[in-house]
Amino acid sequence: MATITHEEAHVHAHGPELQHQFETPEQQKEAATLGMWAFLVTEIMLFGGIFMAYIVYRWAFPEAWEESAALLNTPLATVNTVVLLVSSLTVALAVNAAEEGNKRRLLTMLALTMLLGLTFLVIKGYEYSEKFAHCAGAKDPISWITGSDLHESHECLVPGRGFLFPEEHGATGGSHGAAHTASMQSGHQLFFLLYFCATGLHAIHMIIGLGVMSAITIMALRDRFSPTYFTPVEIGGLYWHLIDIIWVFLFPLFYLV
């Protein structure tokens, strides 16, 4: 019984947001932040495996890397980079607004962040569908969907059985034997496989990030935050920054080789 009274006293002494296992709000906040940082380390190690594979295969197929990177849509990715960097700013401003207890600005910034995140995903989705459309023999995603203007596919950059690296971008000069082409194909295929894996995993994180941001927005709408308690905004922001930073590495590694 003693413990229950103790707990009740505990809850009454502080706000309802203080969970039972913590003594003070500061302790709760520090624990949450530390936990998030540790989680970010884990995330970096998760991507680290893909970066390792990237190093190994770039070392093995330097020409394939150069030729393949040229076929990615760099202008769109540049726009995306800008979009993400701006979203990092809006998240930082959201945290700042939460700290000041400015609910309206907090909601605006969260909405902006989600809008930018969504824009990123739409552009990324367009980039992916471009590659898939080429496999289907269409010029761009729109003609792929409408089914017009289909022709013989001469380029398919989606890894798999149909993978076809366009001739004109391949190695010029030297032998054009079948074995040579096959090994060239595999280097290029590995590039695009890593591209799809890395950016796909990044996009999954982005979708989760959007979910996190929506949850935080709902909490903000319900007035859960105050200048003394805004830990979810802060750690959600950390997660969002991580997504941005990973993209900052992916962009030069794949698009600007």
Partner 1 sequence: MSTISLPQSSYIRDNSRTFIDWLKSWLLTVDHKRIAILYLLSINFFFLLGGLAATLVRVELITPQGDLMSSDVYNRAFTLHGVIMVFFFLIPSIPAVLGNFLVPLMIGARDLAFPRLNLLSWYLYMIGGIFALIAAVFGGVDTGWTFYTPFTSTYSNSNVVMSITGVFIMGFSSILTGLNFIATIHKMRAPGLTWFRLPLFIWANYATSIIQILATPVLGIALLLVIVERVWGVGIYDPALGGDPLLFQHLFWFYSHPAVYIMILPAMGVISELISTFSRKRIFGYEFIAFSSIAIAILGFLVWGHHMFVSSQSVYAGLIFSFITMLVAIPSAIKVFNWTATLYKGSISYRTPMLYALGFIGLFVIGGLTGIFLGVTAVDLHVTDTYFVVAHFHYVMVGGTIMAYLGGIHFWWPKMTGRMYNEIWGSIAALIIFVGFNMTFFPQFILGYLGMPRRYHVYPPEFQILHVMSTAGASILAIGFIVPLIYLAISLRKGAIAGDNPWGATGLEWKTSSPPPTFNFDKTPIVTEEAYAYPPEAAERDAASWRPGSPL
**162-191: which residues touch partner 1 (CB under 8 A)?**
163, 183, 185-187, 189-190
Closer Cβ to partner 1, 34 or 122, answer by number: 34
Query: Binding segment for partner 1 among 52-60, 97-105, 122-130, 239-247 (CB under 8 A)?
Result: 52-60
Alpha-carbon gap, residue 217 to 109, rounded angstroms? 10
**191, exposed or middle or buried, with CB in 10 Å at 0-12, 13-18, 19+?**
buried
Binding marks (x or -) toward partner 1, 121..160, rule CB under 8 A?
Answer: --------------------------------------xx
Tell me the residue type at 86.
Answer: V
Closer Cβ to partner 1, 43 or 127, answer by number: 43
**40, exposed or middle or buried, with CB in 10 Å at 0-12, 13-18, 19+?**
middle
Q: How far is the CB of 79 from partner 1 (least distance, A)?
A: 28
Phi-psi region of 21 (alpha: psi -120 to 50; beta: other; left: phi over 0): alpha
Q: Residue 35 is encoded by which pair of tokens?
A: 């936990």
12 lies in the binding site for partner 1 (CB under 8 A): no
Q: How far is the CB of 160 from partner 1 (least distance, A)?
A: 5
Alpha-carbon gap, residue 208 to 192, rounded angstroms? 24
Contacts (Cβ under 8 Å, ≥6 apart) of 95: 230, 233, 234, 237
62 lies in the binding site for partner 1 (CB under 8 A): no
Alpha-carbon gap, residue 195 to 54, rounded angstroms? 9
Alpha-carbon gap, residue 214 to 34, rounded angstroms? 23
215 lies in the binding site for partner 1 (CB under 8 A): no
Binding marks (x or -) toward partner 1, 218..257, rule CB under 8 A?
Answer: ----------------------------------------
Alpha-carbon gap, residue 159 to 161, rounded angstroms? 7
Binding marks (x or -) toward partner 1, 194..213, rule CB under 8 A?
Answer: ---x----------------
Q: Residue 43 is encoded by which pair of tokens?
A: 């995330």
**16-45: which residues touch partner 1 (CB under 8 A)?**
19-23, 27, 30-32, 34-35, 38-39, 41-43, 45
Footprint of partner 1 on this chain (CB under 8 A)? 1-3, 6-7, 19-23, 27, 30-32, 34-35, 38-39, 41-43, 45-50, 52-53, 56-57, 60-61, 159-161, 163, 183, 185-187, 189-190, 193, 197
